[in-house]
Amino acid sequence: DADVTQTPRNRITKTGKRIMLECSQTKGHDRMYWYRQDPGLGLRLIYYSFDVKDINKGEISDGYSVSRQAQAKFSLSLESAIPNQTALYFCATSDPLREQETQYFGPGTRLLVL
């Protein structure tokens, strides 16, 4: 689904570094999400945004921040990366009014913190 893209796709960084993961979508959806996937732990919600002026913490927001620069862009930042933030990160979008509750995921960003 090329309508939701993420950059970078892979990133290696060092402890203490600031890093930003970016998500863009051409689906015209108002709602955007950031999830983290760890083996055996499923998908856990970090932050979500229902529109440009609405940002909400999810289940595991500590150590992360987000920015909704426009309807189409939602960025996730790690202010000071630590090794236990090594994970696969997914962005997702949804539009309950037009497409009910379906969430569309981006291709993921694999992050390794050394």
Partner 1 sequence: GENVEQHPSTLSVQEGDSAVIKCTYSDSASNYFPWYKQELGKRPQLIIDIRSNVGEKKDQRIAVTLNKTAKHFSLHITETQPEDSAVYFCAASINAGGSQGNLIFGKGTKLSVKP
Number of residues that bind partner 1 (CB under 8 A): 22
- Alpha-carbon span 54 to 1, nearest angstrom: 25
Q: Which of 25, 49, 94, 109 binds partner 1 (CB under 8 A)?
A: 94
For residue 96, what is the enclosing H or E element?
Answer: helix 96-99
Q: Which of 17, 28, 41, 83 binds partner 1 (CB under 8 A)?
A: 41
Residues lying near partner 1 in the complex (CB under 8 A): 1, 31, 33, 40-45, 48, 58, 90, 94, 96-97, 101-103, 105-108
